[in-house]
Amino acid sequence: MSWSKLKQNLESFLCPALNGRVVYRATSYRYLPDKAGICYIAVDKKNVLNMSDITNSIRWYQTEQEIKNDSNIQIPISNEEIEAVRKDTKGTVPEDRLIVIARSRKISEYAKEMLSAQSSLSKSNFMEVANKFLSISIDESIESHEILLNILALVDRRVGKKRIVNMTEMMMLKHPSVQYFYELRRSTL
């Protein structure tokens, strides 16, 4: 599918409040056919998500340690996770340490997933992911671990207000770029 047709399809799915605010853009190199163009998402005429540029306004993580030390990341811990730690330690660890151990395990797991998703985004082809988005259900896009699919789903008009409001806890565990677009969409409600 050509870029203009793909852009038209993506923009036809934008929620009405974001129509005109969120724009999909692409650059290409006419005289360098072997050099791929760059696709990015602009919000209010500001380049917000450029997959090949880590200097944009959204936080990109370089290491797992950066994610672990980021105070903005809040990971909810369930009773089942605490019980799993209790079982692993055979009940010899004090109660307050169980929570710390469970949180540490979950943050490590979360950090690995986030770095994996971030690296796949920087290597991905925007057009390929956008075509995939147009061919799968909105539920699959929201539940996917691919950052770009999450973003395209969040700005989609098929995701209603009630569903957006109920996603708050799930969005806490997503990449900052997904959280940015989630907050953008919530601000339009």
For 46, the 3-state DSSP assignment is strand
Evaluate whether residue 4 is within a structural domain: no
Q: Is residue 56 included in any domain, yes or no?
A: no
Q: What's the token pair of residue 160?
A: 């209603």
pLDDT by 10s per residue, the chain, length 189? 777 888 899 999 999 999 999 998 877 666 655 555 567 788 998 888 776 554 455 566 777 787 778 777 777 888 898 888 889 888 888 888 888 888 888 888 888 877 777 666 654 577 888 889 999 999 999 998 888 899 999 999 999 999 999 998 888 888 888 889 999 999 988
Rounded CA-CA distance 75/97 in Å is: 16
Q: What angle do CA 11, 152, 72 make, to 5 degrees?
A: 135
Side-chain-side CA neighbours of 189 within 13 Å: the count stands at 14
Is 84 contained in some domain?
yes
Domain span holding position 87: 64-110
Residue 71 maps to a domain: yes
Q: What is the pTM for the complete model shown?
A: 0.70
Is residue 47 a part of any domain in this protein?
no
Q: What 3-state class would DSSP assign to 31?
A: coil
Return d(Cα 85, Cα 98) in angstroms, integer. Answer: 6
**Domain tally, the chain:** 1
